[in-house]
Amino acid sequence: MFILKLLIRNAFRHKLRTILTIVGVAIAIVAFGLLRTLVDLWYAGVEASSASRLITRNAISLVFPLPISYKDRIRQMPGVKDVSWGNWFGGIYKDEKNFFPNFAVEPKSYLAMYPEYVIDSSQVKAFALDRKGCIVGRKTAERFGWKVGDQVTLRGTIFPGQWDFVIRGIYRGAQKNTDETQLFFHWDYLNETVKKTLARRADQVGFYMISLTKPELAAEVSLAIDAIFKNSLAETLTETEKAFQMSFVSMTEAILIAIQIVSYVVIVIIMVVAANTMAMTARERIAEYATLKTLGFGAIHIAGVIFGESIVIAMIGGIAGVACTFPAAHWIETELSQFFPVFSIASQTIVMDLAAALVVGVVAGIFPTWRGSTIRIADGLRRIG
Amino acid sequence: MSIPYSYSFRNLWTRRLTTVLTASGMALVVFVFAATLMLAEGLRKTLVDTGSYDNVVVIRKSAQTEVQSGIDRSQAAVVETQPEIAVAGGKRLVAKEIVVLISLPKRGSGKPSNVIIRGVSATSLLMRPQVKVIEGRMPRPGSAEIMAGASIAKRFKGGGIGETLRFGMRDWTVVGIFEAGNTGFSSEIWGDVDQLMQAFRRPVYSSIIFKLRDPSEFARVKERIEGDPRLTLEAKREITFYADQSQAMAKFLRILGITLTIIFSLGAVIGAMITMYAAVANRVTEIGTLRALGFQRGSILAAFVLESLFLGLLGGVVGLFFASFMQLVTISTMNWQTFSELAFTFTLTLDIIGKSLIFSLVMGFVGGLLPAVRAARMNIVDALRAT
Amino acid sequence: MAETTPPIVAVRNLSKSYRRGQQTVPVLQDISFDIAPGEFLALMGPSGSGKSTLLNLIAGIDKADSGTITIGGVEITTLPEAELAAWRAGNVGFIFQFYNLIPVLTAFENVELPLLLTGLTRRERRDHVETVLSLVGLADRMDHYPSQLSGGQQQRVAIARAMVTDPEILVADEPTGDLDRVSAGEILALMERLVHGFGKTIIMVTHDPRAAEQAHRLLHLEKGELTDGAG
């Protein structure tokens, strides 16, 4: 207790300097936490996706469709439990900055396959019955103030025209990382409309989603599906949902790596600032350390006093930073919702924040500790006069 | 009467460890500041160089990107006959192109990434003087031959000369490599438009590009194309078209850059302030002596601000020095709007150098001002009495 | 009184020099003398004569080049650093010119500091600290911080700190150097009391003739050598 009292009193001897350092550490920890969260978000889609469901798409690339006729052949494959299908619609609500993902899907099989979208059974029924119906995630509904029964018009980018939908249900995510921003509507509605206007693009789907009887069969079934469509007009590429999501992430890897590097640079910068503070502090207190040594305290005690002070300052900054991270994340969620509809901080990030603060405290203390504990008493005392 | 510059400078030298620590903190901040500006500049330069002011891109209304667009033959015929299209050597400078994405594995990691493959005709090259075949030759019309941008050839499996890519149930041989400078075309693969349409079974074009005989006629031709009831198309200047396509990326980089800079500079200013407050505290007697010798408060203020400015400048120069090496780095990432590869290089300009140095001086100034005010406001008698 | 009992401090052929850049500056040259238990010894001499160095050597906070110092039968010149620290904690008390109190600790806590290195319980420490603080007349100032005390009071806290482990020897480096006449007088009286009432041995470096007067014996140092013996 005595030592802790000494550490805290020492830490606030230069109030201004200590407060400045604490603020600096807090800012760095906020930045670090937000950047780590940004990186996590990148992987959120991967985290939320399943390794036991498969996605089949055109082998050339995502922009090429597959014939709807594949669905029956896939369904007959051993190991396949159910098949659903959909298209990326890419519709825009009023303005491009209102972006949210929207898909045309086959409602019954899709909702059965994705239990993570929690939705009232009466709403599911209403959605199934209305050909122009759609369901939308809670976040997007809140963002635009939509309620069940509202009409929503999307402007097609891939499928031209103005598309009207009626909201028949609002889903919630079963898990915290479930994407609650998407909109789903009837694939049949899309297909029938396309048949009338762009006949050559009818009866085509963007991707198939496949559930398995046993998750262990994923690799085997993937290979089998791709084998039967080999050398056809539309060859397929089948992979687990996780791998599919991961392929998007790896395409933007360069930015991801840059953000990760930057998140560590923040910590290095604040380490330098904190080391500077501790170096100055220790230099001013050399005589005090010599006095303590004269009284019989050993190098280990002196080291404890300097290290302890450094860690106390860094940890106060770290805790303050963690406390500020939440309002900052909330601000981002509201102000930058176009980029980050969800900006929630993982508990792991908090642990990382505090670990980073601790590292800052330890590193900042190393040099002054070494100086303070190796000082020769006679030299240290001489500095007084 | 002002205090000589050397006073400020030597004080920094005397406290080397602290000076080095503070300056290196600032250097890191300036490094990040300059690097984000360089990245944004690199992206901008790539976009500007890709488009040319007197070229017009026509795509389907609301399609946003060439990949999402579709223009059927009858619509294409209408666009082709616009009177504003330039003529060179008896040829109308208009090209109907198809643009699709194919997924190719990267060399080394084997991770797939989306690459743009563009079906072109002979006039396509005439309108993009920045595209030059540097190895091999152009693909022959009517054959399963393609040429790859230099950046594709280097980074993707099957993109090198003599290698083949398989898509649309055919093998395509790379017969040429083209260089297109700092433009988006360097990350594309080009082939014959008719062959590719057949292979991908797409009976429609993606976009029509033409050169204006007079750049000022853009408004008129745009109005005519967009107003024509037979066409559901929109026309954009090529420059605008490419800028629009990377808007999200540009905005993302800008927001990231600004946010990082603000946060980082707060950290660095605090670092400078700590250092300068300590500098003042250590020299109380000295300041008292200077005042007693007859130096004005203003001179004391100036000396300490100058010391802090030196510190900032030192950080700025070091940070810029390291940032200049970032020019060797090329970032290749997926553009969210087109889902295709986009490569751009950190680009250092005089403007960025200027901004970074000003930024570092501002950090030094802000960090040094309050401590300098404290030094200047000190009471002579108290200052002299302090030990 | 020094003739009958064996000396508590025996200094033999002590030499020490410092390096200043290329030059080697001799500070102490072949010094030998004894101090008897209960003696109040003043070391005098001009600046740079080596008196502070001699004090530091006797206190075990500096290392000699050659020669030996034996204190209470222990030859401290051969002790390794860690053992020396432990020896200091139990056998020597320090009094400095500028008091060297820890500014963030109260008078009580400053005095308690050396006791933290012992195995005493909280209760025992409290008793010890209160005893020495009332001995120096500061029982009512226990919870004051050094900045709330006058110079003389701070020096009395420092003396209490030096006394709290009950060492046989007290070393004092210019204990009155930073004090006014009245305070200096009080401090000297207190030191006198420690010698007579508690049988402590005090070795004091001083410039102050009034302080020297109080001592039983004077040692004069000039250019690293003793110039005379008894005083």
pLDDT digits over B56-98, tens only? Answer: 999 988 887 888 888 988 899 999 989 989 988 888 899 999 9
Tell me, yes or no, whether C171 lies in a domain: yes
| 3-class SS of residue A244 | helix
DSSP helix, strand, coil percent of chain B (3-state; round to 5): 55, 25, 25
pTM for this entry: 0.76
To 5 degrees, how large is the angle CA C13–CA C19–CA C22?
A: 135
**What pLDDT, on a 0 to 100 scale, did the predictor assign at position B70?**
87
Asked if the C-beta of A272 comes within 8 angstroms of chain B's C-beta atoms, the answer is yes
The CA-CA-CA angle for residues B383, B385, B387, to 5°, reads: 90
**What 3-state class would DSSP assign to C88?**
helix
Residues 6 or more apart whose Cβ sits within 8 Å of residue B75: B230, B231, B232, B233
- Cβ–Cβ under 8 Å, residues B264 and A267: no
User: B16 at the A interface (CB within 8 A)?
Assistant: no
Q: What tokens were used for B210?
A: 């033409």
Taking an 8 Å cut-off on Cβ atoms, the answer to whether A295 and C89 are in contact is yes
Question: Are residues C59 and A384, on separate chains, in Cβ contact within 8 Å?
Answer: no
pLDDT at B155: 86
The parts of chain C modelled with pLDDT lower than 50 are: 1-2, 230-231
- What is the spatial distance between Cα A255 and Cα A42, in angstroms, rounded to a whole number? 10
| Torsion angles phi and psi, residue A74, rounded to 5 | -70, -40
Strands annotated E in chain C: 9-20, 23-35, 40-44, 66-71, 74-75, 92-95, 169-173, 201-205, 217-222, 225-228
The angle at the Cα of C175, spanning C173 to C178, to the nearest 5 degrees, equals 115
8 Å CB contact of B22 and A276: yes
A54 within domain boundaries: no
Looking at A178, A202, A234, the residue that finishes a domain is A234
State the pLDDT at residue A151. Answer: 95
CA–CA distance, A212 with C47 (Å, rounded to integer): 93
**Nearest by Cα to B195 from B144, B147, B146:** B144
Do residue A216 and residue A277 come from a single domain? no
C113 contact residues in A (CB cutoff 8 A): 292, 295
CATH of the domain at C58: 3.40.50.300
| Inter-chain residue contact B21 with A279, CB threshold 8 Å | yes
Cβ–Cβ gap A378/C59 under 8 Å: no
Dist. CA C63–CA C56, nearest whole Å: 9
Q: Is C61 on the interface with A (CB under 8 A)?
A: yes
A–C interface: beta-carbon pairs under 8 A: 63
- Domain span at C215: 37-63+83-228
Cross-strand partners of B205: B71
A141 and A279 housed in the same domain: no
Residue among A288, A293, A294 whose CB faces C102 most closely: A288
- Give B386's pLDDT tier (boundaries 50, 70, 90): low
Q: Is residue A201 part of a domain?
A: yes
Q: How far is A361 from chain C (nearest CA, A)?
A: 21
Cα of A310 to nearest chain B Cα, Å: 15
Transcribe B40-80 into DSSP letters: HHHHHHHHHHHS-TTEEEEEETT--STTT--B-HHHHHHHH
* Mutation choice for A interface testing from B264, B326, B366 by most A CBs within 10 A: B264
Residues of chain A contacting residue B60, judged by C-beta atoms under 8 Å apart: 160
φ, ψ for residue A177, nearest 5 deg: -95, 5
Nearest CA in chain A to B32: A262
Does residue C141 sit within a domain? Answer: yes
In Å, how far is C114's CA from the nearest CA of chain A?
A: 6
Note whether residue A65 is domain-resident: yes
What confidence score (pLDDT) does residue C1 get?
A: 45
Q: What is the pLDDT of residue A212?
A: 92
Comparing C110 with B381, the larger pLDDT belongs to: C110
CA C34 to chain centre: 16
The residue among B233 and B48 whose pLDDT is bigger is B233
Task: Compute the distance between CA of residue A171 and CA of residue A138 in angstroms, rounded to an integer.
Answer: 6
Domain boundaries, chain B: 5-48+247-385, 62-231
What is the distance in angstroms between the Cα of B88 and the nearest Cα belonging to chain A?
35
Is B273 near chain A, with CB under 8 Å? yes
Residues A134 and A97 both lie in one domain: yes
Q: Encode burial over B308-339: b for 16+ CB neighbours within 10 A, e otherwise.
A: bbbbbbbbbebbbeebbebeeeebbbbbbbbb
Taking contacts as CB-CB distances below 8 angstroms, the residues of chain B near A231 are 169
**Beta carbons of B341 and A200 less than 8 Å apart:** no
Distance from CA of C19 to the nearest CA of A (A): 13
Q: Nearest-CA residue of chain C relative to A14?
A: C104
Instruction: Tell me what pLDDT residue C201 has.
Output: 94
A296: closest CA among C152, B181, C59, B64? C59
For residue C230, what pLDDT is reported? Answer: 43
Using pLDDT thresholds of 50, 70 and 90, give the confidence band for residue B1: low
Average pLDDT, chain B: 86
Q: Is residue A120 part of a domain?
A: yes
User: How many whole angstroms separate alpha carbon B80 and alpha carbon B83?
Assistant: 9
Please tell me whether residues A85 and A34 are part of one structural domain: no
Domains contained in chain C, number: 1
Nearest Cα residue to B66 out of B152, B186, B179, B184: B184
**Are A275 and A370 part of one and the same domain?**
yes
- Residue B387 clears pLDDT 60, i.e. is over it: no
pLDDT along chain A (385 residues), means of 10: 76 85 90 88 81 89 88 92 93 85 93 92 93 93 92 90 94 85 94 87 92 90 91 87 84 82 86 85 83 82 87 93 90 72 81 93 89 76 51
For strands A207-212 and A53-58, give the pairing: antiparallel
Provide mean pLDDT across the span B334-339: 76
Name the neighbours of C, counting chains with at least 3 Cβ pairs within 8 A: A
Q: What is the pLDDT of residues B160-209, one digit of tens each?
A: 889 998 887 788 999 999 988 878 888 899 999 999 998 888 888 999 99
Domain identity same for A323 and A371 = yes
pLDDT in tens, B93-123: 999 999 988 888 888 888 888 888 999 988 8
Picking from A23, A92, A255, the nearest residue to B333 by CB comes out as A255
Residues A73 and A210 grouped into a single domain: yes
In this structure, is residue C142 part of a structural domain? Answer: yes
Does ipTM top 0.85? no
> Using CB atoms, which residue from A24, A62, A231 is nearest to B267?
A24
Question: What pLDDT, on a 0 to 100 scale, did the predictor assign at position A316?
Answer: 94
**Beta-sheet strands, E only, within B106-222:** 112-120, 132-136, 145-149, 164-167, 170-179, 188-192, 207-211
The C-alpha atoms of residue A59 and residue C3 are separated, in whole angstroms, by 108
- Chain A residues closer than 8 Å to C109 by CB: 2
For residue A178, what pLDDT is reported?
Answer: 82
Give Cα separations from C72 to C37, C169, C199, C219 (angstroms).
9, 10, 14, 21
Residues 6+ apart with CB under 8 A from A355: none
**Is A19 in the same domain as A89?**
no
- Is the same domain home to A213 and A91? yes
CB contact under 8 Å between A272 and B113, yes or no, is no
Q: Count other C-beta atoms under 10 Å from residue B354's C-beta.
A: 10
d(CA B43, CA B322): 20
Range of A120's domain?
A: 60-234
For chain A, how many structural domains are there in total?
2
Chains that touch B (3 or more CB pairs under 8 A): A
The reply to whether C11 falls in a domain is no
Picking from A269, A281, A285, A371 by the largest number of B CB atoms within 10 A of its own CB, the best residue to mutate is: A269
**Residues contacting residue A91 through CB under 8 Å, at least 6 positions apart:** A102, A154, A155, A156, A157, A159, A163
CA distance A364 to chain B (A): 11
pLDDT for B91: 85
Assess if residue C128 is contained within a domain.
Answer: yes
Same domain? For A298 and A378 the reply is yes
Q: Do A295 and C88 touch (CB under 8 A)?
A: yes
Q: How far is B366 from chain A (nearest CA, A)?
A: 14
Over 80: is that where the pLDDT of B7 sits? no
